[in-house]
Structure 1
Amino acid sequence: MANQKEKLFSDFPAVSTEEWMAKIVADLKGADFEKKLVWRTNEGFNVNPFYRSENIEGLKATDSLPGEFPYVRGTKKDNDWYTRQDISVNDFKAANAKALDILNKGVTSLGFNIDGDDVSAENIKTLLKDICPEAVELNFSTCYRKSLDLIKILVDWYKASGADLMKCFGSVNYDAFKPLLKKGRDAEGWIEKAAEIVKAAAPLPRFRVLGVNAHATNDSGAYIYQELGYALANGNQLLSALVEAGLDATLVAKKIKFNFGIGGNYFMEIAKFRAARWLWAEIVNAYNPICNNECPNKSEDGICRCAAKIYAHAQTSTFNKTVYDAHVNLLRTQTEAMSATIAGINSLTVRPFDETYKTSDDFSERIARNQQLLLKEECHFDKITDPSAGSYYIENLTKSIAEQAWKLFLETDEKGFYEALKTGSVQTAVKASADNRFKALATRREVLLGTNQYPNFTEKASSKIVEKEACGCGCGSNAPYMPLPTDRLATAFEALRLSTEKHGAPTVFMLTIGNLGMRLARAQFSSNFFACAGYKIIDNLGFDTVEAGLKAAREKNADIIVLCSSDDEYATLAPEAHKLIAGKEHLVVAGAPACMDELKAQGIEHFINVKSNVLETLKVFNAKLGIN
């Protein structure tokens, strides 16, 4: 039997790429292969419908192993990662109690967000009471102005703890360019400040203190190659400036931490992290960082290969999360977590599904934790390193994303990331990408389930939204530079629907008539269309006459009447409906019939179909109905 299985595939003749293409072209029956089957990505390259072994010949990644330079397949030989949960610290004693509690629930990494005015040695001592620094990764984020003070306090605390500092992992998220990216304010003196921070953190060899917050561009709507390309430019700006300031390249490289976002493009995100390791390793290696230790990872000429290892934290994106049908966010964060962990990140934060509309509670935080634990304990994602290696598709995605990101890196690095931020070129490019995605969402070329497609017809959200307090440090006032955009992908649709809730939902009546299949399909399409604005939908099985349908619509006090039938029947049914309605209600024809121009000439102005801009059309109806 075993011999029979071994011979199974040898019994079939090999099929060449040319033969596959001939078969595909034949099946297309004259349709253009490029237009029908080649995916034109937002990342600036095309994706073919199939790949074969010949497509990965000569690729570097296929010859490398996990833990080996240039680290395409991982910076370590295992695939374990830190399961991180962030805590907003308002009460230090309460935050400490929460930290100790969740450490017993599977968390192996803590992230503390501390207000700048609260940074003090006493508060940090209270916060970290009874936490073993050797057993958990500790990460801290505070106001830009207080990062140095926090690092000095942490160095003293770690020394006093008696812990083996070589076993203590963690970070302080000092982002040199945060004022420009987030607040539109200059980051003057960032080189001197960053140098001070690196020197102050030197006693903690496993602590990363220079944050490259690539998730900021991700959360603003950047495409994947932009997030990666700008992150590399950011990291290299830090590295080059501090080396020029006299710091050791090895030390600086080991103090940089990349904090990436994770979007919903599953395979692309896997490829992004693989490309990130590869490109950052090449950048750092160009500085010839010297290794002064006896390390098995040192090259023959004394170059420190460990310095070239990227340290990548990942967090699920906020850009594609929604207020309406918020439990769908769980599906989004789960696939995002899968992308990141399959790709081999160092640590991961799954953001709670409800954080788009309120401060997350114990339940949503527990679910977010468990999403990671399921991947470890039940799916065993931590047991296999780089399982995507050798995949013809993902290897080609890795190469293509690396090429596009590298091109953008070179363009940005030529002028310097800092100068690019001051001129607004980074922010402008990200905004353009976000605007393209907003347009794609409005026309349903990009889908957010529950927002612009298949909404929950009866859901109300205004009562569950709790406004969050803004930063109180005053660093965003009188901003002279352009910050990154902050709207989520669903923001405009949600604003539209919330306006409807506030006003009271108008009624949309489906006047279904004629061809059974067409009227049912178009009624379903139209119901989903208007429900995106929170309108009340009344569907029907069908009417024998337009007059009967109109009578039923008026009994239901309909504001909008949607005529749902076949294209052929619209030529007679639509003019009849228009005449009977006589402007008392708004008439909409579902579809784009060949006679549309003739119908428009008769005064029928509203048509909805798959090419309609859903958002703009609904805004028009809101205005007509007095909803604002």
Structure 2
Amino acid sequence: MSNQKEKLFTDFPPVSTEKWMEVINKDLKGADFQKRLVWKTNEGFNVNPFYRAENIEGFLSARNLPGQFPYVRSTRKDNVWYVRQDIDVKDYAEANRKALSLLDKGVTSLGFHLPKNNLSAENLKVLLNGIAPDKVELNFRTCISKTHELARLVVAYVTSQNLDLLKCFGSIEYDPFRKILKKGVDVPNWMDDAAEMVKITASLPRYRSISITGNLLNDAGAYSYQELGFSLSYANQLLGALVGKGLAPSLAAKKIKFELGVGSNYFMEIAKFRAGRWLWAEIVNAYKPPCPPYIECENTATDGTCLCAAKMNIHASTSRFNQSLYDPYVNLLRTQTEAMSATLGAVDSLTVRPFDEAFETPSEFAKRIAVNQQLLLKEEAHFDKVTDPSSGSYYIETLTVSLAEQAWKLFLETEEKGFYEALKAGAVQDVIAASSDARFNAVANRKEILLGTNQYPNFTEKMAEKLADPKDHSCGCGTGDKTALKPLAIRRLAEPFNTLRLATEKSGKTPKVFMLTIGNLAMRLARSQFSSNFFSCAGYQIIDNNGFPTVEDGVIAARNAGADVVVLCSSDDEYVELAPKVFDLLKGGKEIFVVAGAPACMDDLKAHGIEYFIHVRSNVYETLKGFNKRLL
């Protein structure tokens, strides 16, 4: 048997890249390889249709193992991540009951959002009753003005439990720039506040106290390299400031936690987490943080540098940016693939956002499903049993390096001014706003797809009555501050289409779109499907047909159906004769006439008076916005 296997390999000699390219170019029949098969990413680099072993020769990860500096493959040898769910604390006893229930359901990390007005040791004791700090990751957040007080309470509580503090893990989240990013409000004394947070939490070695909220950039529409590059500059600004305040680099670095979003660009997101760990390790290593002399560590470099300090701690959250109001169960598909990217990318903890978050306070059912999505990855797919399965993939390894290069370039550009100064000048916000606008334009033109929103929507679905009134969850801190800076513009990618659909619902009238299908069978069916999909994006009623023998029959049927829009679906050649006929028959009526396609005779048809054409190059959103204006 072994001889037979050996013979098989000799029967199929290796094929060179040049030979592959010869075959590809032959199949392209003269078409441009770069234009037809190379993907030009939004991250600023191109992706080829295939990669080979030669493409990753010399790559760092090829000789790197999980848990080894610079941690491309992971900061640990296993892939056990914390399943996190957050609790908005209003009543401490009730929040405790919720927390214990979540722990019974498989949650291993709790995030408590605490009110600023009644922080006390007694309330914290009620909140954490029955919860073991050495068995569950505990994360706390409150108004920035009360974060130091909260930190002291948490440190006092955990140290009073007589536990091994090296087994107690979590965070008290202080983010000095969150107020700028969310409200445009400056915090001038952030250096002192950040240094104080590190000092307060120093006695809890596994508690992080400085949060880098890159997920806010993600939610505002940043591309992966921007989220990563700006987050690294964000963190380096803080690390440099803490060291400047006299804190040990190793202590300061170990107090920093990255909160990153995870979007739907599946392989790119895996690469983002791998690249992020690598770049952060190099940044921290440049500070040469020494290991404390009283600790024997296996992860100390020959020069005494603490390599553990260079480990990036990542909490990932599935993206708010791409969650949709309509067809909300599609959000389950989005968050599931995002969760897969995050866990395959070896994040430390993960929050999956409930699928109904876009239109209501998440229901208990939606929150339970969000937890189960992670449990399925652990218990059914066994994602926690393999560390960095993407290692060795020519494609993902190349993405990792390419993304790291782009993020590093942005990092260096931002460092010239400093992240804080760039924020105050609005430079970071402007760059991300430009990316967001580009993505909104791509959705409007269907170059970026949101299933159920701008592609294959369910036009019978109604959501206006389910839409809850938006609630202000802010603490009011900084309201009315005269030092107004530019905040991030955070909105969901589906919002323009949501606005169209809601306008249709609230108008009390559902426009009827009639497909007048005639002529060439293949073309009329294809264009009817395209047009139905197009107009459904505004929630219009679609009336499709199998075809008409004459345009007269089609027009009569359209009027009998009470059509508001009549779409002619046929072939380009037939439009020369059919389109003017239909247009003339409809003259004087209330119906809007539309031709599906962009035929060569379009100019002639326009000269005849035909105004509306829909095709693959149409801006779907702007076109439907115009129809809404006329019909509603």
TM-score range, shorter chain: over 0.9
- 2-side partners of 1:166 and 1:399: how far apart? 34
TM-score (norm 1): 0.98
Q: How far is the alpha carbon of 1:60 from its aligned partner?
A: 1.3
For residues 318-329 of structure 1, the aligned pairs below 5 Å read: 318-329=320-331
* 8 Å contact from structure 1 (residues 333, 351) kept in 2: yes
Instruction: Please name the residue that 1:315 is paired with.
Output: 317
Match of 1:354 in 2: 356
Q: C-alpha offsets along residues 417-476 of structure 1, whole Å, 9 cap, x if unaligned?
A: 000000011000001001000000000000000000000121001111112311353335
How far, CA to CA, are the matches of 2:310 and 2:470 in structure 1?
Answer: 39
The answer for the alignment partner of 1:217 in structure 2 is: 217
CA distance in 2, matches of 1:47, 1:378: 32
Count of equivalent residues: 626
Name the SS of the counterpart of 1:473 in structure 2.
coil
Q: Distance in 2 between matches of 1:382 and 1:338?
A: 11
2:102 paired residue number: 102
1:481 alignment counterpart:
485
1:589–1:608 Cα contact (<8 Å) kept: yes
Q: Deviations over 1:503-552 (max 9, x none)?
A: 12111111111111111111111011000000011111111222211111
* Structure 1: distance between partners of 2:318 and 2:397: 23
The whole-number CA distance in structure 2 between the counterparts of 1:153 and 1:18 is 65
Instruction: Pick which of 271-280 and 8-17 moved more.
Output: 8-17
Shift of 1:5: 3.0
For 2:72 and 2:373, the matched residues in 1 are separated by 26
- Whether 2:232 is the aligned partner of 1:232: answer yes
Q: Which residue of 2 aligns with 1:426?
A: 428
Offset, 1:158: 0.8
1:454 aligns with 2:440: no
Superposition map of 1:113-512 within 5 A: 113-292=113-292, 293-474=295-476, 475-477=478-480, 480-503=484-507, 504-512=509-517
Q: Distance in 2 between matches of 1:310 and 1:472?
A: 29
3-state DSSP of counterpart to 1:139: strand
State the secondary structure of the residue aligned to 1:488.
coil
Partner AA of 1:5 in structure 2: K
Provide the residue aligned with 1:568 in structure 2: 573
In the TM superposition, residue 9 of structure 1 has moved relative to its aligned partner by 2.5
CA shift for structure 1 position 118:
3.4
In 2: Cα distance, 1:5 partner to 1:393 partner = 28
Deviations 1:478-503 (A, max 9, x none): 67211111111000100110000001
Per the TM alignment, residue 6 of structure 1 is displaced from its structure 2 partner at its CA by 4.6
1:510–1:562 CA contact under 8 A, matched in 2: yes
Is structure 2 residue 586 aligned with structure 1 residue 587? no
Distance 1:191 1:618 in 2: 50
Q: Distance in 2 between matches of 1:179 and 1:76?
A: 33
1:124 alignment partner, SS class: helix
Q: Distance in 1 between matches of 2:10 and 2:171?
A: 54
Task: Give the CA deviation at 1:583.
Answer: 4.4
User: Paired residue for 1:606, among 588, 601, 612?
Assistant: 612
Please name the residue that 2:558 is paired with. Answer: 553
Q: Cα 1:2–1:97, aligned 2, differ >3 Å: closer, same or farther?
A: farther
Aligned to 1:67: 67
Q: CA deviation at 1:181?
A: 0.6
Greater displacement, 614-623 / 239-248: 239-248
Following TM superposition, by how much is the alpha carbon of 1:405 offset from its aligned partner in structure 2, in angstroms?
0.1
- Matched residue of 1:358: which SS? coil
Q: Is the counterpart of residue 525 in structure 1 residue 518 in structure 2?
A: no
Contact 1:74-1:277 within 8 A present in 2 as well: yes
Deviations 1:363-415 (A, max 9, x none): 11111111111111111111111111111111110000000000000111111
Maintained 8 Å contact 1:424/1:481: yes
- For residues 477 and 587 of structure 1, the distance between their equivalents in structure 2, rounded to whole angstroms, comes to 52
Q: Give how far 1:116 is off.
A: 2.0
Q: Which amino acid aligns with 1:283?
A: I
Contact 1:359 1:468 in 2 (8 A): no
Gaps in structure 2 of 5+ consecutive residues: none
**Distance apart, 1:121 and its partner CA:** 2.1
Determine helix, strand or coil for the equivalent of 1:8: helix
- Where 1:67 maps in the other structure, the secondary structure is coil
Letter in 1 for 2:329: H
Aligned AA (1:482): K
Question: What CA distance in whole angstroms lies between the structure 1 residues aligned with 2:429 and 2:184?
Answer: 10
Describe the superposition over 1:586-612 as per-residue Cα deviations: whole angstroms up to 9, x where unpaired.
100000111100110111100000110
The corresponding residue for 2:603 is 597
Q: Which SS does the other structure have where 2:309 is aligned?
A: coil
User: What CA distance in whole angstroms lies between the structure 1 residues aligned with 2:89 and 2:313?
Assistant: 25
Q: What is the SS of the residue equivalent to 1:307?
A: helix
**Which residue number in structure 1 is paired with residue 32 of structure 2?**
32
Alpha-carbon distance between aligned partners in 2 of 1:291 and 1:470, rounded to the nearest angstrom: 45
Q: In structure 2, the residue corresponding to 1:370 is in which secondary structure?
A: helix
| Partner SS state of residue 116, structure 1 | coil
- Aligned partner of 1:437: which letter? R
Match of 1:615 among 617, 621, 632: 621
**Does the CA contact (< 8 Å) of 1:184 and 1:476 recur in 2?**
no
Letter in 2 for 1:616: E
Measure, in 2, the Cα distance between the counterparts of 1:532 and 1:50: 35
Distance 2:36 2:147 in 1: 53
Structure-1 separation of matches of 2:616 and 2:556: 29
Question: Which sections of structure 1, spanning at least 5 residues, go unmatched?
Answer: none
SS, match of residue 404 in structure 1: helix
Structure 1 counterpart of 2:9, which letter? Answer: F
Amino acid aligned to 1:510: M
Query: Which residue does the alignment assign to 1:91?
Result: 91
SS at match of 1:112: strand
Cα distance between partner residues in 1 of 2:6 and 2:372: 41
Q: How far 1:582 sits from its partner (Å)?
A: 1.0
Question: SS at 2:493's partner residue?
Answer: coil
CA distance in structure 1 between the partners assigned to 2:474 and 2:335 by the alignment: 30
Change (3 A) 1:93 1:622: same
